[in-house]
Structure formats: C-alpha cells, structure tokens
Structure 1
Amino acid sequence: MSRFLKNVWYQAGWSRELDDAGQIARTIIGQPVLVFRNADGTPGAVVDRCPHRLAPLSAGRIADGVVTCGYHGLGFSGSGACVRNPHGPITSALHIAAYPTVERHRAIWVWLGDAAKADPALIPDLGFIDQTPESAQVTLAMPTAADYRLLVDNIMDLSHADFLHATTIGGIMVEARKTSRVEDGKVIATWDARDCVPPPAFRPMVHPAECADIWTEVTWHAPAAMVLGTSAVPAGQTQAPGDIAWTLHNMTPESATTTHYFICSTRPFLLDDAEFSQMLNKALRQAFEDEDKPMLQRQQLSIGNNDIDDLNPVLLPIDAAAVRVRRQMAALLAAEAQ
C-alpha cells in the first residue's frame, strides 16, 4: 500500500517563491510538478514533463500564461492544453496532465488525486497567516532528506526540544503536563508547563518576570500539516488570545525518503519590534535548519529504506500523539486504496 495520500491538498510552495522565481518546480509524492501563473494571474499546475521527448518544462520559459519547452518549443497552458506546436498540428496526444491549484494563506496548494474531489474547503484553516503582517513572520522552505512521517513525529513529540534545542526553545517540555486526543479526524497534543524558567526564546515575552506559564498545542491535519500554538505569560497570569503565537509546520512528501518542509511562524505581539524579530528569526533558523534537519537526516540514514515501524522501535509515553497520527494515516491510506 502506498504511504502517500493522493486525494488531499499538498503545499507546493509559498506565493512569494512563485512571484520571485516565476515558477515552482517540485516533485510531490513522486510526481514532477510545475506551478506558474496563468494569464489572469491565478496559479496553474501541470506535470513537469513535455510529452514529446520528456524534457522538464521547468527548463523552458514562461510568458503570458504559457510554458514553452526549452528543447523543441512546444507550448502549454495551465490547463495542460498544448497551445503551440512549431512542427505541425496540435493533437490530443500533446495534452499534458494538469492539477487543481489554489492560492490560499500565502501558499500554493495542488491536488494530485481525483480532480472531482478537489474541494478547496479541505485546505486547513491557516487564517493566522493572513492576519499577521510579514514583519511578524518567519517563513521557510526547507528540503529535508527524510521520510515526511519522521518529520511529523518530530513535531507531535516536542520532548526532543529539551535535548536538541537546549539553548533556544528547550528545557521545559519533559516536565510539562502532556495530553493528546483525536477530534474530528485531527490529532491534538498539548504541553502545559507551569511556573517554569522560560527558555531564551520565550524570555522577552515575560520580562521582567523570572518564571512563566508556557502552553503549547499542536493540531495535526492529514496528511502532514500541523498548526502549533504557544504562549508564555508571567507565572500565574491568565493567558489571553493575543498572547498566542501560531506556526505552521507542513510536510509535503517528495519521495519515500525526502520531504519539502514548509514553516511559517507568526506572532500577534511585538509586531514592529525589529530587534525581537531578528532574535526570533535567528533562534528558529538555528532550531529548524541547524538542529532538527541534521538529526532527522541522520535518523533517515540509520533507518535506510525500511519503514521505521518494521524495525520495531521501542515506544515511550511521549510517543502517544505520534502513534495516534500514524493510526489515523493508516486508516486514510487503507480507505483510499479501496
């Protein structure tokens, strides 16, 4: 059975990536995909492969909503229709696969399964991104040589922060009160640390208090989009909605052992504090790029081409949320396979 769902929305990239480069070329669940803007400005996505000699269309040029193959000059619209053949008539054989595409929450989403089932309402609600000015965001696209499920496990079990991110955001998760549950097909995990010494990344939010109450919650949406909310307030103070910072962790599988990891960290406070933005940007990049990514890639090398579950890993209580996610995914994959 495939480890990838098809009838779901996958993030192909950020809108800014598309606007800066004029295209997004990525392999998603083994399929080469090219995203570009149609003549009306909306995004379109097609298979990144010319039907003539199978050259990647992303190696050509894009103008006025048409991608022209750089090898022999055939042109295609975002609908997959061949609109230019310098060598003869346009036949039905020249039509290429096109995929439903939606631009939402400053991201580009593609659907590689049954187009009739591509309901935009199935895209997770990430309205916190739209409501946050870019000055209060940290946005990353981080290719990672690891199975997307290992990356999901990493976010659903945040106890690793105390060891892998000890100098930035760790130090409170192992002792925090932990709960997890399944709700409407989503898996929700919560960590509640009371009267704790805040890690360095949290200290500006509670200064001058010495101790803090820090709350963290992760909500998993199939197949691999996770919304992480966290707040830090002086110990004993009631948390308010304006205290919560939301971050998207979204894993788009490239292959069985490689993943496109998309991150967007937002905050509703200190919106114009450039010094805090610089500090947070540095801390998050250190945590994700310099700490998480190398460890996950080493983990994948250790596992090789095996499925981690086939190697019988020892499970601990901290794995409860990740196990719930894997069970939900197994049920969804089985249902789709039928």
Structure 2
Amino acid sequence: MACGTCANENAYKAVFIWYRTKQRGGSMPSKEDLESCMRDMPPGSPKLSILSFQGGFHGRTLGCLATSHSKPIQKVDIPSLVWPVAPFPQLRYPLELYAEENRREEERCLDAVWKIIVESKTTGQPVAGIVVEPIQAEGGDHHASNTFFRRLQRIAKDNDAAMIVDEVQTGVGLTGRMWAHEHWGLEEPPDFVTFAKKMLIGGYYYKDEFRPQGGYRIINTWVGDPAKLVLLEAVIRVIEEDRLLDNMRETGDVLLEGLRTLENKYPDVLDGSRGQGSFCAVDCPTEAVRNKLIYALRNKGVQAGGCGERTIRCRPALIFQPHHAEMFLDIFNGVLAQGNIR
C-alpha cells in the first residue's frame, strides 16, 4: 500500500463495509453473505456505488478507474463498474469577476449530485460514498468554492453517504495548508481523507465509525509498511521547523500574481490563471499551444507539466521560494516573448 490508487481503493472498501454493516444493524456478515460473495452475488457482493465527478482522477485499479474520468487512454479496453458520475463546476476566472455565474454553475452541479443519489436508491444501486478532489488536478486544475464543498458534505450526510476527500495530490502543504480541505471551513472533518505521494505511503484518515469489525477486512503484504512512518516523521519535522506551509503561501502569492501579469501581457496565449497556495495553473487556447510551451520551457531548464486538455500546471517543491518563482516567471516571459508559439 504505497500509492494513491491503493489509498482510494481501500477507502472505497471501507465505505462499502460500513454501509453494509449499518444495513445489518451492526452485526457481522451472515452465512449467506459469506457464501454468496464467493460467487460475486448479492447479498455478500452488494449492488452499491461510489459517486464521482466528471474530470476527476482517483487511480488506475479497476475500482478507482470507475471513478476516474480524465484520461480515456487509461480506461479504454478495460471493463468498468457502472457507477454514477456528476458534473464538477466549470468555473470562470478570475473568480471575483464571475461570482454570480460561478454560483449558478455550482448550484447546477449540486442539484445534479442530489438527483443522482436519490435516483440511485430507486434503481437498486445506492450511493454509499462520494469521492472528490479539492482541486481536480489531472482533470485540468478545476477549482470549486468553499461553499460548494460544505454543501456537498451536507448532501452526503443527509443521504447517508460517506464523503471521501482525495488529497493524494493536494495534500501536504502545496496549497498553503497541510490539507487543502482545511480551507473549506467544514462543519466537521470529512469521513475519509486519502493521501500518498509526499506522505511517502498510501493510506487514509477516517472517523472511528468507519473502522471495520474484525481483522483481515483490509490488508496487504506489508501490513501498511509502518517503516515508512519513520521517514514521514522527518518530513513533518522539516515542514514545521522550516515553516514550509508559510513559504507555500508566500511563494504562491508571487507565482499567481506573476501568472496573471503574463496573462494580461499575452492574452492570446494564456488565460484563466488560478491557484491556491503554490498549487497554480494557467490555460492555453489549445492542447498544441500548451505542449509547445511546455517543450520550450523544458529547453530553458524548467520542468513544467500539463493537465486536462490545455492547462499548464505548477507543482513546485515545498522549498520553492519567492525568488524561485520570480526566476520561473522571468523564463516563462522570455518564452512567450519569442512570439512563435501559436
């Protein structure tokens, strides 16, 4: 269990176990449950689902692929679970200029989530959990407001579904908080927070009621690989001692302001600058333009990445400082000034 896919896959399993345990009134699986699951039949293998969002990415194993909707090449030819998918807000930037338009867009998506959950109960495949990223990273750095996520949590709770916050990419400081969901001001913590990458190990935090009864319900060869926690302790200590969360907020201010300046200077090439902390991105008019810019930056010594259909994303290390951001922006300006990108 070392990757984000592992973290999400096991979180899904914990959600299903919790949901069925509640349906049984808290009792352990029956003889019928144990026998039928060996034939992949109900009630032991129940018809339950995880609701995900268009543009989301949660991993590449079979269960996680059913909730991933960002890259067709990673799904094609592979059988999938038919689970419900809701629209994720497609906001316009800068947010302050499109507040009312964005509010209506988020309302549309939340209404769709509610409708999908209600319909799932009538079709015999209830939604046991909702999985969502604080920022849809692979899908194109799509953001939503704090209000959106607070209301999503309320919808999940009102419909007896668990809320899984996938922090595999957004977690551990890049947004200026240890966890991106800390920005939301939730009424209570999420039911699950999954993590990997900078945590050095794949896993999830969860509320006590989601702990499966008995042993061997969720297990792997390395039993969680607890030796990695020794390394993680060192990582956390450096983050705290070197005030790296503060650094991400300060660097992010420089980075995002610089991207907006470049967007204003080159409006035919850049658009939609956005970010939280140093988790920043900017759009290009086409995928081809985006790829040319990434290639040109690489030739100037800058490692940049793409996401979504036409987005350049910034994923600096926690030690990336304001003067590093200024160096990047200066190189980016030089590439754009060449004028032969389109």
TM range (shorter): under 0.3
More helix by share: 2
TM-score (norm 1): 0.27
